[in-house]
Amino acid sequence: MPTALARPLARLIDELSKLPGVGPKTAQRLAYHILRGTSIDAESLAAAVRSVKADLRYCSVCFNIAESDPCELCSSSERDQRVVCVVEEPLDVLAIERTGQFRGAYHVLHGAISPVNGVRPDDLRIAELAQRVRSGGVEEVILATNPNLEGEATAMYIAQLLTGTPARVTRLARGLPMGGDLEYADEVTVSRALEGRRAL
């Protein structure tokens, strides 16, 4: 039976729809956008995708995505390597860096403990973090995992694992967002804000 969709276009739509957050309709719009663009635009996109797979690697120190090993943050003399901020994903590093407030090092776990989804501590970069702390030089470990069930479980596991090491283990403060109204905040958020209060 003849089809109205040419095979190369159907293949592109199929591949685009495999991306997270991209449904069939969005994949079709993206595919037709690429089709209507110039050959140069299409080649640039293809080259960028190839480069991501060929030119990037994980830093052997912090496990962030990098072009070099160790990465620029780990090899920078301007970063305080004694303070390590532990995050779940590489995108979390970008979020913290955007603040311009943190001048330490990072450690990327590449996920969070989630028994429901079959993610165990051995599936993450937790052993490497423990080795990094035990090898000396780390004075503080900031646990910046997400404030959800999996993130809390991961933070608790790491805190227990690092008990007895010379490093001080801290957790990011949680509470009310800027610009938010107290009356609309949930009970857990208000409770955490009360617990994390500080002097002015």
- How far apart are the C-alpha atoms of 178 and 148, rounded to whole Å? 20
- How far apart are the C-alpha atoms of 84 and 140, rounded to whole Å? 6
Structure tokens at 33: 């956008």
Using one digit for the tens of pLDDT, what is the confidence trace for 166-177? 999 999 887 777
Task: Check: pTM over 0.85? Answer yes or no.
Answer: no
Q: How many CA atoms lie within 13 A of 180 on its CB side?
A: 12
Contact 93, 108 (CB under 8 A): yes
Selected from 3.40.1360.10, 3.40.190.170, 3.40.50.720, 3.30.70.270, the CATH number assigned to the domain covering 77-171 reads 3.40.1360.10
End-to-end CA distance of the chain: 74
Q: What is the DSSP string of 12-43?
A: HHHHHTTSTT--HHHHHHHHHHHHHS-HHHHH
Q: Which of 100, 159, 161 is nearest to 131 (CA)?
A: 161
In the chain, which stretches have pLDDT less than 50? none
Structural domain spans, the chain: 7-55, 77-171
Contact 66, 90 (CB under 8 A): no
Architecture of domain 7-55: Orthogonal Bundle (1.10)
Structure tokens at 22: 């991209």
